[in-house]
Amino acid sequence: MLFIETDSPPPFYQEKLTPTKRKQLDQWFIGHRTQSHYLKRFEAFDKQGYLSPKWHWAAFFITFPWLLYRKRYMDALVYSVAGWSFIQLNIVIVLVFFEFAFMSYIPNAYHMPARIGIAAMIWVFWSFMVARWTDAYYYRMARREIADAIEDNPRDEAAQKAHLQREGGVSLYGLALGFGFFAFALMVINIQFLPIIAKQKENDVLFDAYDIAKNAQNRVALIYQQTGQCPVNLPLSTDAQQLRMHVDNQAEGVPNTDCAVIATVKGVSFPIRYLNGQKLVFYHNLEGDSWRCISSLNKKQTPKHCTAN
């Protein structure tokens, strides 16, 4: 689609056709959907004598379903295999270069947003390029099919019409197939790949939460040992932490304690928002005069050193 001839006259242009006959053939190929838009574009290309970029919103947002909708099945296959592979290759090359050249200057918290932003910009750039040349591409397809219809059936208007309606027009089944493919891809990402990413992020958040809460508990335990009192007013949380911590004389689910550090996970974003509100509780056990830990997390998520015993 990006490598279209811009010669004059346009490719497959039938000079002997009258304007009325050419318009009739175009209408048969385009079909009734968005006919006025494409007729206007085709007439402009015919008058100027060469192909030029025009904007096409559908191609910008949904190129693959649009190709299937317009019965460009082979082109849709080539676009999905070669086109997407080319875009992905560009993304990989740029990301590798960026990792070595600039990533060290970016704070760790912005590494993933930076990678996603770079990939998105490259994808949007190629979508922009495709959208600019889609009308020229569709014009070229129309002129090619019209040339074939005239060559195969030079005097049979009914056969020409049948050929153009078969090769042109629209297919609601193709459109449904295109969106169905996207739905399938999203389902695969959600079921297969998203849990892998979420698991790594979950481990990182829980490790940091346990480490921060454990350090806070050590501080509280030292004060408790020195004063014999639970420092309930001791400030522990900071805005930079993904934890809200406070000290209390009691904790839910812990009957035999006089001092506890209660840490609640907060501010965690997709895809691990389910961790928000989960608690780690480090409490002073009166029976053994020791500090223990329990958690509201399930068995797989709970840190191995944070189980009631």
- Cα–Cα dist 40/51, whole Å: 14
| Structural contact between residues 236 and 245, judged by C-beta atoms closer than 8 angstroms | yes
Confidence of residue 2 (pLDDT cuts 50, 70, 90): very low
- Cα–Cα dist 135/51, whole Å: 9
In the chain, what are the domains? 19-170 (no CATH), 203-295 (3.30.700.10)
pLDDT of residue 8: 54
Question: What pLDDT digit, counting tens, does each position of 132-172 carry?
Answer: 999 999 999 999 999 999 999 988 999 999 999 999 999 99
DSSP three-state, residue 259: strand
The pTM of this model reads 0.69
Q: What is the mean pLDDT of the segment spanning 257-268?
A: 92
Percent with pLDDT over 70 in the chain? 95
Alpha-carbon distance values, 229 to 218, 224, 291, 308 (Å): 14, 5, 14, 23
Confidence of residue 84 (pLDDT cuts 50, 70, 90): confident
Which range has the worst mean pLDDT, 92-101, 133-142, 151-160, 184-193?
A: 184-193
- Cα–Cα dist 178/182, whole Å: 7
| Beta bridge pairs of residue 262 | 246, 281
Confidence of residue 9 (pLDDT cuts 50, 70, 90): low
Q: Amino acid letter at 174?
A: G
Question: What pLDDT digit, counting tens, does each position of 236-262 carry?
Answer: 876 667 889 999 999 888 888 999 999
